[in-house]
Amino acid sequence: MFNGLGHLFRLIGLARLLARCDALVLAERFGASPGVLAAARLLARLPGGPHPKPGTRPGERIAQALTAAGPTFIKLGQSLATRADLLGEEIADDLAFLQDRLAPFPGAAARAAIEAELGKPVSELFASFDDTPVAAASIAQVHLAVTTEGEEVAVKVLRPGIEEAFARDLDMLAWAAAAIERTRPGTRRLKPREVVATLARVVEVEMDLRLEAAAACELAGNFKGDTSFRVPHVDWTRTARRVMTLERISGIPMDQRGRLVAAGHDPDEVLKKAATAFFNQVFRDGFFHADLHPGNMFVGPDGNLVVVDFGIMGRLDAPTRRYLAEMLLGFLQADYRRVADVHFEAGYVPADQPRDLFMQACRAIAEPILGRPMNEISVARLLAQLFRVTEQFQMETQPQLLLLQKTMMVAEGVGRRLNPNVNMWELARPLIESWVRDNLGPEARIARGAQDFVSGLERLPGFLTNVDKAVRALAEQGYRLHPDTVRRLLGEDGKGGNGGRGAVLWVIAGLLALILATLLTGRP
């Protein structure tokens, strides 16, 4: 009870902050009760707190309020940026560019965290350590240092007490989401509890810097030998759960066209490298950097790309990549029948939904987007519209595709800053055509069929072993029925009737099910 009251007061405080920024639309979308909204508007009249910036859009005002609310809510805003189906396209677009910046914590606290995690004094680990951070975000901040071996590095350190702060806020959000679903059933389609659970999973990964370091190493391995895209080297001897040490990089933020030109770089060549790297991450590797805002992408002195911050990564398995490629190819070729077929074949849209009507919906969202000049076509916007429409056809949310769509939106935005007259996807077109030919053409289908056949042959000995076990179990033990069951099946007079014979058929069916389970599991 007391926890519930505490959560309620904190929720009203959050709603007050939204009201102060004229951003209560967020609370309204998630079904906040009229009482909470009225209390928020009343409390918003009290002095203190931010004011909305003049001339800003609703999404920008929501971003302002969430930034003022603290680290958990900055992450919430970034998570909601993938949910245009919940908030609308314009708000989701604004939240995609929500800046994850906070006031830094003292350098002494960073030193204490490093020593506690690595078990050595900072002086034994680093020849020099700059107490003033070069970047401070909601979960961690970054300090420059030089190791005792003379290597220039960047040291990422979690904020003191950040785990407890997130746990408290996530507990409140989970309580609020459950209360909203319970008291306002109409909001269940928005899946507020699922939104909070997704946020909790993202935060859990980001608060273990060993996982981020592992992601950096995996991404670097995928681009081994490719000098156009580089990932800083991880210093594992100076990395632990709350501390990560990376090779220090230098470069110009990718969206600063003027500085790039002044440094002698060709923005179109930079954009082509970015498009190629993004395509390779998504389709070739199925493992992509999902936080590609300008603060994480740099152009090095050699004109090649360098990325940092690997806390948010996305994965796509091979079937999903093929589905995505076939869907996009169908859209680009205006083959909406194929687009619809792909969704049904993948099982994303239930078989009982009207295929022709779904095809018509695909055409309705694609024509206005693909009919624009090439430099204005947005694949990210196309995907966002598609995900909104598919909800009407009971397509379940695909979190990995929502994350990809959000990443595409940010990447496209950066691309337009480099050159508004060039479409990054057109630059990657040769790669796209080659990948489609190699993975979706007749030869690729034959190869996959052969792989499935070989896989089936490999499983055959195990299947036959299970069959043998099942037959021996039946021969040696049988499947015993309780005497009372037998009497009921045969009838009280022992002769049975039509009902008894029907029941016997049900028992036979049950025995067959048991035999099948034995064959599949190998357990008699």
Distance CA 407, CA 383 (A): 11
Q: Which long-range contacts (CB under 8 A, 24 or more apart) does 211-219 make?
A: 212/156, 212/244, 212/310, 212/311, 213/239, 213/244, 213/246, 213/310, 215/310, 215/311, 215/313, 216/246, 216/310, 218/287, 219/281, 219/287, 219/289, 219/307, 219/310, 219/313
Local structure of 351: helix, strand or coil: coil
The one catalytic residue in 22, 291, 317, 356 is 291
Q: Return the bridge partners of 307, or none.
A: 297
In 3D space, the residue among 414, 424, 159, 146 whose CA is nearest the CA of residue 296 turns out to be 414
**Is the CB of residue 404 less than 8 Å from the CB of residue 81?**
no
**Is the CB of residue 139 less than 8 Å from the CB of residue 71?**
yes
Which amino acid makes up residue 60? Answer: E
Residue 335 annotated as catalytic: no
In 3D space, the residue among 131, 143, 137 whose CA is nearest the CA of residue 71 turns out to be 137
Local structure of 230: helix, strand or coil: strand
Q: Return the bridge partners of 147, or none.
A: 126
In 3D space, the residue among 11, 93, 72 whose CA is nearest the CA of residue 408 turns out to be 93
Local structure of 154: helix, strand or coil: strand
Distance CA 156, CA 514 (A): 55
Q: Give the residue numbers annotated as catalytic, written as ranges.
A: 291
